[in-house]
Amino acid sequence: MEGAPLSWYLILSAILFALGVAGFLFRRNIITVFMCIELMLNAVNLSFIAFSHKLNQVDGHIYAFFVMVVAAAEAAVGLAIILTVFKNRASLAIDDVSSMKY
């Protein structure tokens, strides 16, 4: 990694994050939306790792592990929710899940 400057990693991270946001905002399938969330988390992880390497500190790695653990837990709960939603509504369109409102 000697040759690649920090900014490259950060730019890649930003691009991945922006893709995640865009997917989250514009895709209708719940599973896709869910995957976009994972994408955003991993984009952040990338910038954590990059900074950690650059600053020679271990904190960033620890954060990344935390994020992975949370993401795993979230995936378990999230997929369970998605399964239940699908069972009840026979649909995976995110716009159909809008009963929690005023």
Partner 1 sequence: MRHLWLIPALPFAGFLLNGIFGRRASKAVVNAIAVGSVALSFLWVVKTLLSLGGMETPHAERYFTWIESGILNVGFELAVDRLTAVMLLVVTGVGLLIHIYSTGYMAHEGGYYRFFAYMNLFMFFMLILVMANNYLLMFVGWEGVGLCSYLLIGFFFLRRSASTAANKAFIVNRIGDFGFALAMFLMVVQFGTLDFAGIYPAAAEMPAEQTAGILTAIALLLFVGATGKSAQLPLYVWLPDAMEGPTPVSALIHAATMVTAGVYMVARSSALFLQAPLAMDVVAIVGLLTAVMAATIGLTQFDIKKVFAYSTVSQLGYMVLAVGVGAFGAGIFHLMTHAFFKALLFLGAGSVIHALSGEQDLRAMGGLRKKIPLTFATLLCAAVAIAGVPPFSGFFSKDEILLAAHHHAPWMYWVGVITAAMTAFYVFRAIFMAFFGDSRGHHHPHESPPSMILPLAVLALLSLAGGFIPVPRFLEPLFPAEGAHHDFALVAVSVGAGLLGIGLAWLFYVSKPGLADSAAARLGALYRLVYNKYFVDEIYDATVVRPLIGGSRAVLWRGVDAGVIDGAVNGIAQRSRDLGILLRMFQSGNIRSYAAWVLLGSVFVLAVLGVMGGLR
Q: Give least dist CB 102 to partner 1, A.
A: 4
Closest separation between CB of residue 38 and partner 1, Å? 15
Question: Smaller CB distance to partner 1: residue 61 or 78?
Answer: 78
List binders of partner 1 among 34-93 (CB under 8 A).
Answer: none
Distance of CA 66 to the CA centre of its chain: 13
Closer to partner 1 by Cβ: residue 88 or 98: 98
Contacts of 75-80 spanning 24+ positions with Cβ under 8 A: 75/34, 75/38, 78/34, 78/37, 79/34
**Looking at 7, 56, 90, 102, which residue binds partner 1 (CB under 8 A)?**
102
Question: Interface with partner 1 includes 21 (CB under 8 A)?
Answer: yes
User: Which chain residues interact with partner 1 by CB under 8 A?
Assistant: 21, 24-26, 33, 94-95, 97-102
